[in-house]
Amino acid sequence: MEYEIRDRDGLSEIFLKGRLTFDGNAEFRRMLQALDAVPARVVALDLADLEYMDTTGMGMILLLQESVVAKGGSLSLRHQTGEVGRMLTLCRFGEPTSGLHAN
């Protein structure tokens, strides 16, 4: 998994690339630490270049959501397509009860 964080005007955009699996856990935690240093309250997770995600990856997204909400912010998911999009839909990520916003 690779990531890039872009900050502008109170919005942090996180772009994920590759595979979000257990193997990327350490890198994902580094991303969380980098995000903690940013005061943005609105975070958008862009999944356009995410090729694959397993259930561990879904758990990582929930950890990201917890971290953002703990700082009084909100998390939205963007460009969830293909297999990743189907998995998120199947698990009801992005529905109002999930606390995640799908764009």
pLDDT digits (tens, 9 = 90+) for 44-93: 999 999 999 999 999 999 999 999 988 889 999 999 888 898 888 888 77
pLDDT for residue 97 is more than 50: no
Strand partners for 78: 46
Q: What is the pLDDT of residues 1-32, one digit of tens each?
A: 999 999 888 899 999 999 999 999 999 999 99
**Separation of alpha carbons 26 and 98, rounded Å:** 25
**How many C-beta atoms lie closer than 10 Å to residue 42's C-beta?**
15
- Could you tell me if 75 and 47 are in contact, meaning their C-beta atoms sit under 8 angstroms apart? no
Q: What pTM does this model have?
A: 0.84
pLDDT value of position 102: 58
d(CA 11, CA 13): 6
The ranges assigned to domains in the chain are 2-102
Q: Determine the topology of domain 2-102 in CATH.
A: Transcription Regulator spoIIAA (3.30.750)
Please tell me the least confidently modeled range out of 15-19, 24-28, 38-42, 95-99. 95-99
